[in-house]
Structure 1
Amino acid sequence: MKIIYDPRHVFYTPKSKIENNKFVDHHDTSECIENLISTLSIGYKENFIKPKDFPRSYLYLVHEADYIFWLKNKSKSLSSGEEYFPKVFGYDRVYDNQTPIMSNTFEMAWISVKNALTGADLLLKYPETSVFSLTRPGGIHAGISIAGGGCYLNNAALAARYIQSKTNGFIAILNLNLNHANGTQEIFYNDSNVLTISIHINPVDNFPYTCGFEWEIGEEEGRSYNINFPIDRGSDGRTFKRVLEKAILEIDNFEPDFLIITLGNNLDTVSSEAKLNLSNSDLVEIGKMLSSTTYKKLIIYENGTNERNNETVSNFISTFE
C-alpha cells in the first residue's frame, strides 16, 4: 500500500489555542507524524511517495470562493510567527478558538489537500486497492465556508469531489476520527451520491458539541444518506466493533465504488487524550474488518494528539497489505 507523505507539514506550527479564556499550547505538533514516519519507515520505506501538484481550482469543488479568498488573504496579511484568532464570529470565517490563522496557513492546508488528492488519483489511475494519505492540518471539521477544529480545508470531501469529477462513481465516507466530522456532514448533507457515516464520541460532551446526533439524517436529495453513530466516552473495543459492523452493513447496502476513511485519534490508545478503551488488538481487528471490504479505499490519517502509539498505527496499516 502506497503511503503519501509530504515533509513540508513541519512548517505548520500553531503555537496556541484558547481554552477557558486562557492561551494554552496547541495540541497539533509535527512530532506526531514525524515519529509515526520513523516507525513506518521500518517496514514501509519503499512505499512512501510525495504528493502530486494540482490546480487550486479543485478547491472550489467544495469550498465557496469568498471563503477561499478570506483564508488566503488573511494568511497573507499576517507576519511570520503571528497568530490570528477570530474577533467577530461570522465575519471571521472560523467558528472556534483552536484554529489560529498564520502567515502560511492557506499554503499548508493546500499541501495537506494535495496529499488526499494524490491518494484519490492513485486509486483512479493505478491498480491500487488501498492508499494511505498522511495529512496535516486535518480536514473533517472544515465546512463549505468556514474553518474550525484545527481544520481549514476538507481533505476527504475534496478527494471525494475529485473522484466524482473524473468518474460517475458513488462514494462512501466513513469517519472514525472520534470527533464528529461536522464539516464533511455539512458538505454532503443534501447529496445522495455520497454516503457519509461517522462513528464518534457523543457530542453531548465532546467536540463539536452542536452536531453529530443520530437524528441528523440528511435533507432533500441527501435524506437518509447521512448516518451518525454517537458512542459513549470510554467505550471498549467490543462496543466499537459492533457499531462498525452496522456501519459496514450500511456501506454495503449503498454499494459505493470508493470508500474514503478518515481517522486519527481513534488510533490513540496511550495518551491522556485517549477517549476510548481500545487495545492494540482491537484496532488490528478493526483494520481487518475494513480491509475485507471490496471497495477501493483511501485512508486519510489526520493528525491528532501529542502522544501516539506508533506501533498501533503500523499494525493497523498492515491489515490492508
Structure 2
Amino acid sequence: MRIFHHPDQALHRPERELHNGGFVAYAEDARRIESILAVLGEPEMPDDRGEGPIRAVHDGDYVDFLKSAYARWKAAGRDGDAFGYAWPVVGRRPLTLNRIDGDLGRYSFDAASPISQGTWEAAYATAQTAIGACDAVLRGEGAAFALCRPPGHHAGHDYLGGYCYLNAAAIAAQHARDNGVARVAILDIDYHHGNGTQDIFYTRGDVFYASLHADPATDFPFYWGHADETGEGAGQGATLNLPLARGTTLAAFRSAQAKALDAIAAFDPGMLIVSLGVDTWDGDPISQFAIRTQDYRALAADIAARGWPTAILMEGGYAIEALGANVESFLSGFPG
C-alpha cells in the first residue's frame, strides 16, 4: 500500500493543554509520527496542491486566522502557545475582532488545542498528505494511507478543537467530489465523534458520514454524535451515528461497523474515506474502549471486503509506543 506523509507535520509542537482542571503535557505529541514510521518505513511525499482544496472546505477568514494567529499572539507580547479563554455563546460571534484573544475564542470550541509556531505549516502539510492519498486512489490504487498529524475530524468549517485544525477527511472527500466522484462516504472509527466532519456535510446528500465512537453522553465532544443526529435538508439520512459504551470490545465494535458498512453500501459510494483512530486500543491513555492490536486487522478486512476504493487517513491514538503496531495491524487487513 502506498503511504503518504510530509515532514512539516512535526512542526506543530504545543507544550501543554488544559485537561481536567489543570495544564498537562500535550497528548497529541509529534512522536506519534515517529512511532508509526518506525514500523511502516519511508513514506512518499505528497504533491503540493495549494490552498484551493483547503478553502473548498474551510471558511476563508478561518484559514487566514490559522495562518496568522501565532504571529498575532507574539505581536501582542505573549509567550508560549496561543490559548483561547473566552468563547461566545451560540449566535453571538461578531464579524470582526481586533484582538487575538477574541479570535481564538471565535474560531475554537475547546482549550485543548493551542496554536504553536508551526501549527499552520503542520496542518497544511496534513491536508496535502490527505489529498496525496486521495489522488492515488483516484488514479487507480485500491487503497492508500495518509499519515496525517495533527488529526482533523474535530475541525469544522470555521473552527478548531480536539487537537484538530484542518479537516483532512473533509478536504479529501471534497477533493474526490471535485474530481468526478459522484458520491463519497466517510467511515469514522476514532474513539471520539468527528463533529467537524459531521458539521461540514450535515446538509449535503452527496457525502455520507458514518461514525462509531464513544457515547457523547459520557465522552468528548459531548455536544455532537448522538444517535438522533441524521442530517438535515438535502443531507437527511446521510449521517449515521453509532455511539458505543465505554469498555466496548471487538465483537460489539465489529457489529456496529458492519451496520455502518451496510448503510454505506446502500449509499453506493464511488470512494470511501476512513478516518482511522487507534485511540480505540485498550491501552490508550485518554480513551476507554478495549480493542486489541490484532483486532485492527479483522476490522480492516471487513472494510476491504466491500471493495470500495479507499483512502485511509490517520486521526487519533495517543499510546505512542503502541501506535506503529496498531496502525500496521489495520493496514495489513487490506490487500497489498
TM-score where L is the length of structure 1:
0.94
| Residue identity opposite 1:116 in structure 2 | A
Whether 1:132 and 2:145 are equivalent positions in the alignment is yes
Q: CA deviation at 1:31?
A: 1.4
Whether 1:115 and 2:120 are equivalent positions in the alignment is no
The match for 2:65 is 70
C-alpha deviations, 1:184-219, integer Å up to 9, x for none? 000000000000000000011101011100000000
Q: CA deviation at 1:308?
A: 4.2
Distance across 2 between alignment mates of 1:59 and 1:88: 27
Give the secondary-structure state (helix, strand or coil) at the position aligned to 1:3. Answer: strand
Give the secondary-structure state (helix, strand or coil) at the position aligned to 2:23. Answer: strand
- In the alignment, which of 80, 83, 87 is matched to residue 81 of structure 2? 83
Whether 1:314 and 2:335 are equivalent positions in the alignment is no
Compare 303-312 and 276-285 and name the one that shifted more: 303-312
Give the secondary-structure state (helix, strand or coil) at the position aligned to 1:113. Answer: helix
Distance 1:134 1:311, change over 3 A: same
The match for 1:169 is 182
Task: Give runs of aligned pairs for residues 1-321 of structure 1, distance below 5 A.
Answer: 1-41=1-41, 45=42, 48-79=43-74, 82-90=80-88, 91=102, 92=105, 93-125=107-139, 127-266=140-279, 268-309=281-322, 310-320=324-334, 321=336
Distance across 2 between alignment mates of 1:109 and 1:273: 22
The match for 2:92 is none
Structure 1 gaps, min length 5? none
Preserved contact between residue 135 and residue 303 of structure 1 (Cα < 8 Å): no
Give the secondary-structure state (helix, strand or coil) at the position aligned to 2:294. Answer: helix
Distance across 1 between alignment mates of 2:28 and 2:110: 15
Q: CA deviation at 1:168?
A: 4.1
Q: Percent identity?
A: 29
| Residue identity opposite 1:232 in structure 2 | A
Q: CA deviation at 1:107?
A: 1.6
TM-score where L is the length of structure 2:
0.90
Give the secondary-structure state (helix, strand or coil) at the position aligned to 1:49. Answer: coil
Q: CA deviation at 1:267?
A: 5.2
Structure 2 gaps, min length 5? 89-101
Distance across 2 between alignment mates of 1:25 and 1:163: 37
Distance across 1 between alignment mates of 2:79 and 2:321: 27
Q: CA deviation at 1:253?
A: 0.5
Distance across 2 between alignment mates of 1:303 and 1:30: 12
Distance across 1 between alignment mates of 2:321 and 2:189: 16
Preserved contact between residue 27 and residue 306 of structure 1 (Cα < 8 Å): no
Q: CA deviation at 1:20?
A: 3.6
Q: CA deviation at 1:2?
A: 0.2
Give the secondary-structure state (helix, strand or coil) at the position aligned to 2:273. Answer: strand
Q: CA deviation at 1:81?
A: 7.0
Distance 1:119 1:150, change over 3 A: same
Q: CA deviation at 1:35?
A: 1.4
**What is the total number of aligned residue pairs between the two structures?**
315
Q: CA deviation at 1:281?
A: 3.0
Give the secondary-structure state (helix, strand or coil) at the position aligned to 1:299. Answer: strand
